[in-house]
Amino acid sequence: MNKISFLKNKAKAVRRLLLTSAFKGKSGHIGSALSTVDIITALYFKVLNVNPKKPKSPDRDIFILSKGHGCLGLYSTLALKGFFSVKHLDKYFTDNSLLAGHPVYGSLPGIEASTGSLGHGLGMGLGMAYTFLGKKQKNHIFVMLSDGECDEGSTWETIMLAGHLKTNNLIAIVDYNKIQSIGRVKDVLDLEPFADKWRAFNWNVLEMDGHNMSEIVKTLNRAKLSKKGPNVIIAHTVKGKGADFMEDTVDWHYLNLTPELLGRALAQQQ
Amino acid sequence: MRKTFAKTLVELAKKDKNIFLITGELGYGALEEFWQTLPKQFLNAGVSEQNMISMAAGMAMAGKNVYVYSIIPFATMRPFEQIRLDLCYQNLNVKVVGVGAGFSYSMYGASHLASEDIAIMRSLPNMTVVCPGDPLEAKFATIASAKHKGPMYLRIAKAGEPIVNPELKHFRIGRAVTVRQGRDATIIATSNLLQNAVEAGKILKSTGFDCRVISMHTIKPIDATAVLKAGRETKAIVTLEEHNIIGGLGSAVAEVLAESGLKVKFKRLGLTDEYPKIVGSQKFLRGKYNLNPEQIVKIVKGLK
């Protein structure tokens, strides 16, 4: 099996865990999580220097899911990678669980920051990146933002300072699925010309199809090697990717799975 | 008090390279020595307080002992959610230093007044709230803050306050300082009103009234032992703060007393749940809210 097929299979496994956990917990935000899966899979199974056996290793690469509501993509990937037992996923979003509907720092190994309120993750990532640059460490900080999150003023405060400080170990990834919570981005608050906005703040901009695995790996690695940073990858994605009835729909920001829909979605991950 | 904080932090940071200071583009006349002598431990994050707090959180997660500095409303209220989630929820080692306690910026309007900060910071789990009463307490508090692990709010005044308790030798976060012993009543003051509390205590003494004066430099955790002792041993308690009477020192003391079963007369002095309607100096505004020594004396005597 070549490396790309391996990653594609891992992404399918992540989606199966994600869908099953969302069904068991009766949680929403499924579409928001599915759009992130291919990228997060590529990060943990190919790009990031991380070791589940040493989750606090000081030279590790760090991934922050700033769009915390998409947590199931992260949780499922961390479990599959071996950071914690899949059993925790079974309890996600239920009583007496360690896994909340948004990531909680330190709740389980591999969860690097508490997020949930939008517009915080990139700032924390900048603080880490700036510190590691000062220590001349070689590790990278990846922060995934939602497109809706780019409405937040605090996001742009961070973008401005990171551009000024030239933190080339900081890589932002925007999950640009073009749909925010109750509407399409272009109708709610249009971000375009999006790439130009980042460039104007002195970021190096890369773009990719966020579901094309070979392009994802290539672009993530390019961003990692780039010295022009900070780097942003605008990832063109599809909300609900992988479950045909969810794809590019606004409603699946919130809807829950029925047993029938779970079966239909799982059948598409073979 | 502000200069004492800055000078003390320079001394600490020279010895401990892990200390890092971020300003939100403020500190003219106070932070120059820090940024000139320790440029690698200093960052001006620009006028962007939300990012400043998130960034401080990230630096603390990467191992730094971080101080962030701004005028109180911009240090505590503008980035409140970042303080709540990034610092307190994650329980990180970041000290939020707010300058301009109470009426320090009295001529500048309510945008620059600090009248709700203690209430807001005190409500946050994991947050420690320290409000030194004079430059000596500020020095001790700064030294203690560097050793403290976890989020802390340090409320600093800037009117060139005098040292009012030169005898202070031992300082512990959460342990109130009894500046003057007394049996008839107790004044509990915090932050920059310590001076007026001490003055009032002297005036009272000269009239034969034996008033205890306590510096409650830590609002959270409140020193319940000192409050209860005062409640048992004296007949009345008056709290002084340049802060709204809702949610600050007075409320913290009232919470202890209300749950104690003690019967003691009690009065909170501070802003009476309003923004000052008129402009004036710190002393002038204190006068509007019965916070000058002669006014305090009258109220303490009236309670007994």
pLDDT tens-place string over residues B240-292: 999 999 999 999 999 999 999 999 999 999 999 999 999 999 999 999 999 99
Residues B70 and B127 in one domain: yes
Question: Is pTM, for the whole model, over 0.90?
Answer: yes
| Whether the Cβ atoms of residue A217 and residue A208 lie closer than 8 Å to each other | no
Residues from chain A contacting residue B58 (CB–CB below 8 Å): 113, 123-131
To the nearest whole angstrom, how far is the Cα of A67 from the nearest Cα of chain B? Answer: 14
Residues B124 and B204 in one domain: no
How far is it, in rounded angstroms, from Cα A240 to Cα A125? Answer: 26
Start-to-end CA span in chain B (Å): 34
Q: Say whether B240 sits in a helix, a strand or coil.
A: strand
CATH number at residue B34: 3.40.50.970
Cβ pair B46:A128 closer than 8 A: no
Kindly state the percentage of chain A with pLDDT values over 70.
100
Give residue B40's domain range: 2-156
Residue range B10-56, pLDDT digits in tens: 999 999 999 999 999 999 999 999 999 999 999 999 999 999 999 99
Task: Determine the pLDDT at residue A205.
Answer: 98
For A128, the closest of B40, B46, B61 (CB atoms) is B61
- pLDDT over 80 (residue A54): yes
Cβ pair B54:A128 closer than 8 A: no
Residues B219 and B107 in one domain: no
- pLDDT over 80 (residue B304): no
Residues B109 and B189 in one domain: no
Averaged pLDDT, A86-90: 96
To the nearest whole angstrom, how far is the Cα of B12 from the nearest Cα of chain A? Answer: 19
Please check whether residue B169 lies inside any domain of the structure: no
Q: Tell me how many residue pairs between chain A and chain B have CB atoms under 8 A apart.
A: 90
Averaged pLDDT, A13-37: 97
**Where is the domain boundary, B156, B187, B207?**
B156
CA-only gyration radius of chain A, Å: 17
How far is it, in rounded angstroms, from Cα B185 to Cα B289? Answer: 20
Cβ pair A123:B50 closer than 8 A: yes
Residues B9 and B147 in one domain: yes
Residue range B157-180, pLDDT digits in tens: 999 999 999 999 999 999 999 999
To the nearest whole angstrom, how far is the Cα of A231 from the nearest Cα of chain B? Answer: 17
Residues B143 and B190 in one domain: no
For A127, the closest of B46, B55, B85 (CB atoms) is B55
Please check whether residue B162 lies inside any domain of the structure: no
CA distances B125 to A13, A88, A150, B214, B292, Å, are 39, 26, 29, 25, 33
To the nearest whole angstrom, how far is the Cα of B56 from the nearest Cα of chain A? Answer: 6
Residue range B81-94, pLDDT digits in tens: 999 999 999 999 99
Averaged pLDDT, A230-248: 98
Q: How confident is the model at residue A1 (pLDDT cuts 50, 70, 90)?
A: low
Q: Which of B128, B6, B16 is closest to B65 using CA atoms?
A: B16
How far is it, in rounded angstroms, from Cα B219 to Cα B121? Answer: 10
Averaged pLDDT, B205-229: 98
Averaged pLDDT, B109-115: 96
| Whether the Cβ atoms of residue B238 and residue B300 lie closer than 8 Å to each other | yes
Nearest CA in chain B to A57: B62
Q: Which of B238, B205, B226, B215 is closest to B304 using CA atoms?
A: B238
To the nearest whole angstrom, how far is the Cα of A191 from the nearest Cα of chain B? Answer: 20
Task: Determine the pLDDT at residue A2.
Answer: 84
Residues from chain B contacting residue A128 (CB–CB below 8 Å): 58-59, 61-62
- pLDDT over 80 (residue B231): yes
Averaged pLDDT, B125-132: 98
Residues from chain B contacting residue A153 (CB–CB below 8 Å): 50
CA distances A91 to A33, A78, B17, B31, B197, Å, are 18, 15, 43, 50, 56
How far is it, in rounded angstroms, from Cα A236 to Cα A155? Answer: 19
To the nearest whole angstrom, how far is the Cα of A43 from the nearest Cα of chain B? Answer: 20
Please check whether residue B280 lies inside any domain of the structure: yes
Residues B152 and B181 in one domain: no
CATH number at residue B190: 3.40.50.920
Token code pair at residue B237: 């308690």
What backbone torsions phi and psi does residue B231 show, to the nearest 5 degrees? -65, -35
Averaged pLDDT, A86-99: 95
Residues from chain B contacting residue A161 (CB–CB below 8 Å): 45-46, 48, 51, 55
Residues B194 and B150 in one domain: no
Structural domain count of chain B? 2
Cβ pair B55:A154 closer than 8 A: no
Mutate to test the interface with A, among B51, B89, B94 (most CBs of A within 10 A): B51
Residues B151 and B262 in one domain: no
Nearest CA in chain A to B20: A131
What's the DSSP call for residue B79? T
What is the complex's ipTM, to 2 decimals? 0.95
Q: Which of A26, A116, A36, A104 is closest to A76 using CA atoms?
A: A36
Please check whether residue B284 lies inside any domain of the structure: yes
Domains of chain A, each with CATH number or no CATH:
3-267 (3.40.50.970)
Residues B149 and B202 in one domain: no
Nearest CA in chain A to B78: A154
For B54, the closest of A123, A129, A134 (CB atoms) is A123
Nearest CA in chain A to B44: A161
Please check whether residue B172 lies inside any domain of the structure: no
Please check whether residue B281 lies inside any domain of the structure: yes
| Whether the Cβ atoms of residue B115 and residue B102 lie closer than 8 Å to each other | yes
Cβ pair A124:B58 closer than 8 A: yes
Please check whether residue B213 lies inside any domain of the structure: yes
Question: Which residues of B sit within 8 Å Cβ distance of A?
Answer: 40, 43, 45-46, 48, 50-51, 53-64, 81-82, 85-86, 89-90
Q: How confident is the model at residue A229 (pLDDT cuts 50, 70, 90)?
A: confident
Residues B264 and B208 in one domain: yes
Q: Say whether A190 sits in a helix, a strand or coil.
A: coil
CA distances A192 to A156, A185, A188, A249, B187, Å, are 15, 9, 12, 20, 60
Token code pair at residue B290: 């019965």
Nearest CA in chain A to B65: A131
Task: Determine the pLDDT at residue A96.
Answer: 95
CA distances B226 to B118, B139, B247, Å, are 19, 22, 19
CA angle A186, A192, A194 (to 5 degrees): 130
Residues B187 and B110 in one domain: no
CA distances A20 to A24, A38, B95, Å, are 6, 17, 42
For A117, the closest of B60, B63, B85 (CB atoms) is B85
Task: Determine the pLDDT at residue A250.
Answer: 94
- pLDDT over 80 (residue A153): yes
| Whether the Cβ atoms of residue B269 and residue B245 lie closer than 8 Å to each other | yes
Q: What is the DSSP string of A9-41?
A: HHHHHHHHHHHHHHHHHT---HHHHHTTHHHHH
- pLDDT over 90 (residue B155): yes
Average pLDDT taken over every residue of chain B: 97
Please check whether residue B161 lies inside any domain of the structure: no
- pLDDT over 90 (residue A36): yes
Question: Which residues of A sit within 8 Å Cβ distance of B?
Answer: 104-106, 112-114, 116-117, 119-132, 134, 153-154, 157-158, 160-161, 164
**Where is the domain boundary, B156, B190, B215?**
B156
Q: What is the DSSP string of A198-256?
A: HHHTT-EEEEEETT-HHHHHHHHHHHHH-SS-SEEEEEE--TTTT-TTTTT-SGGGT--
Token code pair at residue A116: 């949930």
